[in-house]
Amino acid sequence: MPGPSSASSILEVCNKYESSPDELYRLICMDPVLLSRLLEVTNSVFSGLEQPVTSPARAIIMLGMNTVKALAVSAVGEH
């Protein structure tokens, strides 16, 4: 599971007014468990797609930063 430091960094980025998906992407790519969870959730929510989502950047855009933030926090809570 993502550690508290990963989640707090993600929360910090998501709560910044001028944050970008690129910042979030860099943080998520450093946490393989969260990255896997992100792709799993994206593909389960959007299961009607012709091809599965394999790009973390695309998953972030599709889910939105608030959903990714919630995912990070819930993943820490599961730990």
With cut-offs at 50, 70 and 90, classify the pLDDT of residue 19.
Answer: confident
Range of the domain at 39: 4-78
What is the C-alpha to C-alpha distance for residues 28 and 30, in angstroms, rounded to an integer?
A: 5
Higher-scoring residue by pLDDT: 39, 2: 39
Residue-wise pLDDT for 27-71, tens only, equals 888 888 889 999 999 998 666 778 899 999 999 888 888 888 888
Q: What are phi and psi of 21, to 5 degrees?
A: -60, -25
The pLDDT, as a whole number, for residue 1 is 46
Q: Domains in the chain: how many in total? A: 1
Judge whether residue 17 has pLDDT over 90. Answer: no
Q: Which of 21, 20, 33 is nearest to 71 (CA)?
A: 33
* Segment 1-15 mean pLDDT: 68
